[in-house]
């Protein structure tokens, strides 16, 4: 059995949510690791929600579906397939909700050599039947040679 080769990345994570008459934006930078296992690629990184709370985030890409898995104070599992509606779940210590993503666009380009990579997802999201708006997520990925 082959051990997956890990590549370390620097990333910039940006999200924009348009809901009714306002837009919210959120951005952070993080270090992560990219590896291939079986027929899928995995991107893993840690997101700091507050000083004391973090979430381990994994994005799994099989060439068609991008699966977002968050584990920590928030548990979330949501798939994204361009042109389709997918069911998921969002769990906090207080409650658990069903989610639905109606995905317009999924773009995954891994960094090669000196080039940057990116992940883009555009989707409409509902949480327990309530529309949360139109979401746009963009990750800019760059190999982190200093962390090998």
Give the mean pLDDT per block of 10 residues along the chain (148 residues). Answer: 76 95 94 93 89 91 97 95 97 95 96 86 96 96 76
Instruction: Give the SS3 label for residue 20.
Output: coil
Q: Is residue 70 part of a domain?
A: yes
Considering the domain boundaries, does residue 9 fall inside one? yes
**Does residue 50 form part of some domain?**
yes
Cβ–Cβ under 8 Å, residues 92 and 73? yes
Looking at residue 95, the DSSP 8-state letter turns out to be -
What is the extent of the structural domain holding 22? 1-74
Number of domains in the chain: 1
Question: How many DSSP H helices and E strands does the chain contain?
Answer: 0, 10
Quote the tokens at residue 57: 């985030």
Q: What integer pLDDT is reported at residue 50 of this predicted model?
A: 80
In a domain, residue 43? The reply is yes
Q: What is the pTM of this model?
A: 0.90
Question: Would you say residue 100 lies in a domain?
Answer: no
Beta bridge partners of 6: 35
Residue 116 lies in a domain: no
- Tell me what pLDDT residue 123 has: 98
33 in a domain, yes or no?
yes
């Amino acid at each position: 059995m082959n051990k997956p080769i890990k590549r370390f990345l620097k990333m910039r994570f940006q999200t924009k949510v348009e809901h009714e008459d306002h837009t919210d934006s959120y951005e952070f930078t993080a270090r992560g690791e990219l590896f291939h296992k079986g027929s899928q690629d995995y991107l893993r990184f840690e997101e700091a929600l507050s000083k004391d709370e973090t979430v381990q985030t994994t994005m799994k890409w099989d060439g068609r579906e991008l699966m977002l898995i968050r584990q920590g104070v928030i548990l979330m599992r949501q798939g994204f397939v361009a042109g389709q509606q997918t069911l998921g779940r969002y769990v906090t210590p207080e409650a658990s909700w069903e989610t639905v993503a109606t995905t317009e666009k999924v773009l995954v380009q891994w960094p090669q050599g000196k080039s940057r990579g990116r992940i883009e997802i555009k989707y409409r999201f509902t949480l327990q039947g309530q529309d949360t708006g139109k979401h746009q997520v963009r990750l800019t990925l760059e190999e982190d040679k200093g962390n090998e």
